[in-house]
Amino acid sequence: MLTKKAIIFTLDSILALIVTVTIITGTLSYMSQVSKIPYNKQALNRIGQDSLTLLEKDQILKQAVETGSNATIAVFLDSLPNQICVIVDLKATDQSTLQSTVKTGCSSSDESLIVRRVFIASFTTYYAEAELWYKRGSY
Amino acid sequence: MAKKKSQIFSADMVIAIVTFLFILLASAWLVSYTREKMELSETRNDLEFISRSVLAVLVETPGNPSNWTNFSESDFNQDYVYSIGLARSYSQKNSDVEGHGKSAGLTINNYMVLDETKIQRLAAWYPQKYNVYKRILGILGPDYEFQLSINVWNGTGYDNTYQIGLIPDSNVSSVVRSDRFALFGGNWTNVMLKIWKNCEKVIC
């Protein structure tokens, strides 16, 4: 009796299986990625605008320029949510910085945004510039 | 007559059929998964947009009409109240003007200065007028619910002074939260709005 040898499966089919499994696995891993929340920057911008508006309406910016003390600004910045960092600079129209207030526990960041608001103190125009960013690992 | 041998099927064909079925089923599952993910994303986008819009109207405007607190509870509906705002009405005496003197132009309106009467009225009518609030504020999505919190700074932290609306159920997959800051009674105030979709099943 002759022994017959046959091919059980070919290299082609193995390669096809490998390619198929690789493509499906790659697709699944890509689709299961958590998408970055797109509204963070908008929320940060809104908080910045509100903060400067509130400081201006409460006359805190005016008092800071007139008294030279930024203590109240510092208290307000520390009352903001923990994950948000802020630096508020009070500037004259020639862009010279009169005061700078940093929220406690914040260091600089590459991804920040800036908002500004004009205010008047002692019949002179100034503007407040707030730089905001999220603390690392908070989003 | 010579016998002809042929091959009906091979192991290759079996592997090919299995692979084809596997790809077919995986594609069907991926389509279903993608659609569900897109629906959740669209709902989330909708909630985000609504929350930002609603908070802007509440904090920045006095409402329309601005004296909507003059209406009785029975008349408080969409026929008479077109918009709910918590900012002080323009007709009220603006103490900011006196304080600023010549710089009044920047604070002539009561933008982002909240009116306690309006907040109290909203809180007082909350249980029975909750659905009216939703309609007027524009929170009209299917099974959308909201919670509005007014948190006032006490010198060291924010006190939850007023809370209007429902509490999110623990089964809800996502709750959208938006914050604004304003002045209330001369104090820094955090106005927080949470919006969520209560039922996320196909049939509720």
Pairing of strands B175-184, B113-114: parallel
Q: B188, B132 in Cβ contact below 8 A?
A: no
Query: Which pLDDT value is given to residue B204?
Result: 53
pLDDT at residue B129, rounded to an integer: 93
A12 is written with which tokens? 């082609």
At B14-66, the pLDDT tens digits run: 877 888 888 888 888 888 888 888 888 888 889 999 999 999 999 999 999 98
- A106-120: pLDDT as tens digits: 887 778 899 999 999
Cβ-Cβ pairs closer than 8 A, A with B, add up to 76
pLDDT at B198: 84
Per DSSP, B161 falls in state E
Residue matched to tokens 């932290």: B157
Query: Among B8, B96, B181, B191, which would you mutate to test the A interface (most chain A Cβ atoms within 10 Å of its Cβ)?
Result: B181
The per-residue pLDDT for B103 is 43
CB-nearest partner of B112 from A12, A27, A54: A54
The pLDDT value given to residue B194: 96
C-alpha separations of B7 from A4, B1, B10, B151 in Å:
15, 19, 7, 80
Q: What is the pLDDT of residues B37-50, one digit of tens each?
A: 888 888 888 999 99
A13 and B CB contact within 8 Å? yes
Asked if B123 and B150 count as a contact pair (C-beta separation under 8 A), the reply is no
Could you tell me where the DSSP H helices lie in A5-125? 11-31, 40-57, 60-67, 71-79
Contact B107 A12 (CB under 8 A): no
- The pLDDT, as a whole number, for residue B102 is 39
Flag whether residue B159 sits within 8 Å of chain A, measured between CB atoms: no
CA distance B196 to B142: 10
A73-77, A135-139, B18-22, B197-201: segment of lowest average pLDDT = A135-139
Q: With 60 as the cut, is the pLDDT of residue B126 above it?
A: yes
Which range, of A2-11, A64-73, B131-140, B174-183, averages the lowest pLDDT? A2-11
Identify the burial level of A51 via C-beta atoms within 10 angstroms of its C-beta, where 0-12 means exposed, 13-18 middle and 19 or more buried: buried
